[in-house]
Structure 1
């Protein structure tokens, strides 16, 4: 009888998992840095008109208002052009209060420099745009820009 037993030499050594947490955290940080967060999802059709003279502004002082027919996944809202602010449909009467609320939520130093960006579908009638502009005047949001494609019209 021996006190010592011989080990089985046929088994494979265990896989080291010591570096696994490092790899997981590297992937986590990569996706956190590389991912772009969306402000709001588009609920209206938005084929913007073409323009030959455009200027780019910083997005930190811009509030966007979308106008157009509801997209295919929002057909239950009808075929008439609608106004979208953030992630909700609003009426013309709600434009003033929504914009005022959006301005209040901005940084104090940017509140006086706020610009309203109108992303209006090219097939939307001008009456709706005029109504939106009237409500923006009531909200004292006088700096308005129209968003368009950067292509020359031929």
Structure 2
């Protein structure tokens, strides 16, 4: 006599019909939310001075960055550590006010007092260049200045 028993069935297959929709939604999400780097550095990556007391900037959209350092292409831009980069071009300290005004034009007028100018200067840069930049920033009433540093011993 044959035994009657329940046949064991395997687990049902996972339905993958919605998988392409999920993948394309994730792809679209990351394409929309990702921001690309706005400027290409024409100066060498600045070797930032070290400091013991540092603070991160809160709102990056209100920060205008000025790079000071050695040019990557000394044949085109000249030799020395005193090159100033505003957006994607090497500039002089006299062009800093126009740079600040162009950044202010993109912001609402109520946000102008909260705008910060960040200076990323190589530790070999000339103090005279930094002073020229600060004087030009003072002329256009851009008084919130942040100096970028790296965390270290402060030497």
User: TM-score normalized by structure 1?
Assistant: 0.76
Provide the residue aligned with 1:8 in structure 2.
none
- Could you give the per-residue CA deviations for residues 92-147 of structure 1, whole angstroms, max 9, x where no partner exists? 11111111221221233321211111111111010100011111111111111111
Query: Which runs of no fewer than 5 residues in structure 2 stay unpaired?
Result: 1-16
Provide the residue aligned with 2:115 in structure 1.
114
Contact 1:104 1:111 (C-alpha < 8 Å) held by counterparts: no
Call closer, same or farther: CA 1:57–1:23 in 2, change over 3 Å: closer
Provide the residue aligned with 1:9 in structure 2.
none
How many Å apart are 1:27 and its aligned residue?
5.9
Residue 32 (1) aligns with residue 23 (2): no
Q: CA RMSD in A?
A: 2.2
Call closer, same or farther: CA 1:60–1:35 in 2, change over 3 Å: closer
Provide the residue aligned with 2:50 in structure 1.
50
Corresponding residue SS for 1:109: helix
| Deviation larger for 95-104 or 132-141 | 95-104
Provide the residue aligned with 1:141 in structure 2.
142
CA separation in 2, counterparts of 1:24 and 1:145?
A: 41
CA separation in 2, counterparts of 1:22 and 1:120?
A: 47
Call closer, same or farther: CA 1:128–1:107 in 2, change over 3 Å: same
CA separation in 1, counterparts of 2:65 and 2:19?
A: 44
| Number of residue-to-residue matches in the alignment | 135
CA separation in 2, counterparts of 1:153 and 1:112?
A: 30
CA separation in 2, counterparts of 1:136 and 1:126?
A: 15
CA separation in 1, counterparts of 2:120 and 2:32?
A: 28
CA separation in 1, counterparts of 2:105 and 2:29?
A: 34
Call closer, same or farther: CA 1:138–1:34 in 2, change over 3 Å: closer
Which runs of at least 4 in structure 1 moved beyond 3 Å after TM superposition? 18-24, 33-36
